[in-house]
Every structure is written in C-alpha cells, then in structure tokens.
Structure 1
Amino acid sequence: AQLRREITALRLLDHPNVLRSYEDFEDATHYLFVMEYAAGGELFERLSKVGSFSERTAANLTRDVASALAHCHANGVIHRDMKLENLLLPTPLLRNVKLADFGMAHSDRGITTTLCGTPGFIAPEQRTGRPYGAKVDVWGLGCVLYIMLSGMEPFDAAEDEQAFERSDAGRGAAGPAPLALAFPERAWRDRSSRSKDLLAKCLTVDPDERIDAATILDHPFV
C-alpha cells in the first residue's frame, strides 16, 4: 500500500524541492524506482552534527519546504510524514532541500482519517480520529523549524506514541492533550520575534486557524 501511495503521489508532482522520480518499473520479485540522487544526505544528519542552524539557513530551508508543500497541496497530495529525515540535500551545501519519501502520502484530494506519521511531528487533529487535511504537513514543518532553530522538539513525542498504541490495539483514537508552545530562554534568547511568530502560526492547535503552506512563503521570516 505504501508503494502504491508513493507512486501515485510522485506522478502528480513536479517541483524543484520535491525529490524527482525518473522512472519506476518491476521485475518478477521487485518494484524499482529510479530517483534523483541527493548527494548531501538527510537534513537530520547535518543538523545532528551542529545542534542548530542560523536563522538565515533555517529560513531558506523553510522556504524550500513550504514551496514544496504548497505544490503538493495544490495537486491534492498530503505528505503526512514531515520530518528532518525526509528532507534531503542535493549537494553538501545547506540549500535547495528536497522533500522525499511519499510512502504515507494521501493523494485523493480532500480529507482523510488515518493515523500515520512519526511521533513528535504528528498534528493534534491526527490523534482525534476525525477527518483532517493538508495542514497536518504545516504542523510537521513547524516542528522541523523549531528543531532547526533550537536543537530540541517543541512537544513530547509520548502523546503521539500512546495514540499509535491505542490505534494498534483497536481502541480508537483519543483527543490531543493540551499543547502549549514554549520558547525556553536558554535556547531561544537570541532568536528573532519573526521566527517565533511563524512557529506560533505553524503550531496552532486548531487547523482552521493554522497558517497554510502557500501563506508561509509570504511571512517576513522566510
């Protein structure tokens, strides 16, 4: 199912910040993708080496990802697994990041209810069992930006892990625990008000009030 989702999504997309699929074919035992090569590796690996990025670097990378997401959403694709490991660099330079791994993507346009993604990056509405839309990706991007600027996650991943356990046990989803976005002084004292404003807009619990990917591109931070 994940393979079919990825093939369907990639065929709908053509954007400089989405990892390109050149060809896909199958033999008797395998289904093969010919993908664009990302020589710079995962953004996660680069961030792990330095702890956090400068605001300029984080802003440029955020613009890249927001542009990719805006393209996805305009074409009816929700990525549903936004995280640093799924952002790849084409060269050793910290620029022109590519959104990759569409194995969890939803590409039927509109809303879905499936609980999926990675703990620590899952939007609150995904844990309710109710329909959700493309703004779950914006929440994930907000988590990515928070980590890029501070080196820490904005929220405890334990709530997401418990939601998966409930779902796997057939007990259904539960409403999200109250989430309060905070900027600890030690990690955030030198960060700008613009960066915090964008984070607050991306990490708004109510998806109806949350900024969308296209509007992020007009935010002063990026």
Structure 2
Amino acid sequence: MSEALKRDYQLCEEIGRGRFGTVFRCFSPVAEEFFACKSINKRALSDPVDRECLEKEPKVMSLLAPHPHILQIVGIYEDEASLHMVMELCDSSDLFARINNQGFFHESEAASVMKPLLEAIAHCHRNGVAHRDIKPDNVMFDSRQRLKLADFGSAEWCGEGRGMKGVVGTPYYVAPEVLSGIEYTEKVDVWSAGVILYVMLAGVPPFYGDSAAEIFEAVLRGNLRFPTRIFRTVSPAAKDLLRKMICKDVSRRLSAEQALKI
C-alpha cells in the first residue's frame, strides 16, 4: 500500500470488486469526507491491452473533469504493486440495482435519468472520448442522488474523424458495428444509452438470448420492436426517440447532443 495514500486517507471497508482490483471506502481527515479508492493490482495485468487501459483511465477521467454527471477523480497514488485511484464516493444504489428493484420506470422517471446521462456522454464526445461501456452498472448515484457516469476502463480517444476498433462493451448494450469488426465512432455510446432507456421503460432489453452469442446475433439483426403489452403506456415521442438512438444506420443515429434536444 502506498505510504502517501495511507498518509492522506484512512482505508475502510471493501465496497466493490472487479476483474483486476478492489474498491474501498476511504476517509480524508483533511476534507472530513468519505471517498472511494479503486486499487488495481498491476501484477495481474499481463495483457498489454489491459495495461494500456490501466494507464488511460486516470488520464481520461482527469481530462473530463469537472463535470456534474461524470465521476470525478480526486487523486492518484502508485506503488510497486498497485495503482490507487481516489474518486468521489457514490454510496447510493446504481441504475442496475434500481431497475432490478423497480422492474420498469415511468416515462418522467426515465427522462430524469436519461437527460444527465446524455449530458455526460455529450461532454465525453466533445472532449474526444468514447466511453464504450455504457450500461446500468456504470450509471451511479451519489448521496444527493446526482447521476454519475463511471468506469472509464474501456474508454478510447475518438473525434476528428478517428475511428475505433475492438470488441468491448456488454452484450445487451453493445452496438452492432462494434461486433461487426469494422471501424466505429462515438455513436456506439448513443446506441447503448438508447438500450438503457428501452430497459427502463420496458423492464426487459430490446435484444436478448440465452447466451452471449445469441444476444450478439439479436443485436446484429437490430430488429427493434415495441410489444403492445409492454409499451401500451409509452408515448409515441418516447418510441420515436428510441428508434433514433437504437438505429443500425449510424449515419441516421442521433448524436448525444441531438438526443438532448428532443
């Protein structure tokens, strides 16, 4: 453990665990405030791509700061074995847990989530960053219930005509062009946000299957449906927005800025 980290923060209980690291609650005696500390085991990163992600995430988060709806990085500490990122603490349930608990959201509730999420995504895109893993688990809320987009481990530089490659993301939420092996743009984030909106309104994803392969096949087909039984109380305007965000034709898919204006 970094001596500087131990000097500045008191590490408390574990509050999360990922593929390469652990998240702890920590307390700053100077600020008299709790934060989250993401500690990543550098020795577990044998893949060069994983190492690149480790180096990129704090740079991306620092570039995007400050923004009211993007998780802020407070400090970075490094020792021989680990990288420690101290960030804002989001100690309320994330969107994944809220969807699981509620089943579905009323349109006004879904809008209150989608607006700040799209504001965060638009800010990323203006700064040449694609998140590439927009999903409910990465949409968090702080103690004041403010939405915070988190986990930039899969983020990539974009913009100025620069295309991206590589299959990243989560099966239900990944855009079809990511799976096709072609170059893609930051609009993959808009597709993923559209899927989140669909899940909030319907309680089920638009594309599904019994395995990741089946889900990918459904995503690639992109056959967007609005079953009457589920969508009978959803307005035509909301369905139209979904069609424009979850649109296979990338040239016709809305940008995050355009979606905010609807």
Considering the TM-score relative to the shorter chain, is it more than 0.5?
yes
Q: Unpaired segments of 5 or more residues in structure 1?
A: 165-173
Q: Which contiguous aligned blocks of 4+ residues in structure 1 show a shift greater than 3 angstroms? A: 157-164
1:92 and 1:153 map into 2 onto residues whose CA distance is: 28
Q: Which structure: larger Rg?
A: 2
Deviation of the 1:29 alpha carbon: 1.4
Q: Distance in 2 between matches of 1:4 and 1:114?
A: 18
- Relative contact order, higher structure (CA 8 A, sep 6+): 1
What is the aligned partner in structure 2 of residue 212 from structure 1? 255
- 1:1-222 matches, cutoff 5 A: 1-14=52-65, 15-91=67-143, 93=145, 96-109=146-159, 110-156=162-208, 161=213, 177-219=220-262
> Relative to 1, partners in 2 of residues 1:188 and 1:70: Cα closer, same or farther, differing over 3 Å?
same
Look up the equivalent residue of 2:91 and give its one-letter code: A
Query: Which residue pairs with 1:171 in the alignment?
Result: none
- Describe the superposition over 1:105-141 as per-residue Cα deviations: whole angstroms up to 9, x where unpaired: 0025421111110001111111111110100000000
Count of matched residue pairs: 207
Instruction: Name the CA distance, whole Å, in 2 between partners of 1:108 and 1:203.
Output: 20
RMSD: 1.9
- The answer (yes or no) to whether the contact 1:122–1:160 under 8 Å persists in 2 is no
Comparing 137-146 and 33-42, the one that deviates more: 33-42
Shift of 1:8: 2.2
CA contact (8 A) 1:114 1:129 kept: yes
* 2:171 and 2:215 in contact (8 A); partners too: no
Residue 44 of structure 1: how far off its partner (Å):
0.6
Give the structure-1-normalised TM-score.
0.87
CA contact (8 A) 1:127 1:160 kept: no
1:167 aligned residue: none
CA distance in 1, matches of 2:214, 2:200: 25
Structure 2 gap segments, 5+ residues each: 1-51
Find the aligned partners of 2:98 and 2:211 in 1 and give their Cα distance: 27
Q: 1:184 to 1:130 in 2, by over 3 A?
A: same
> Which has more strand, going by share of residues?
2
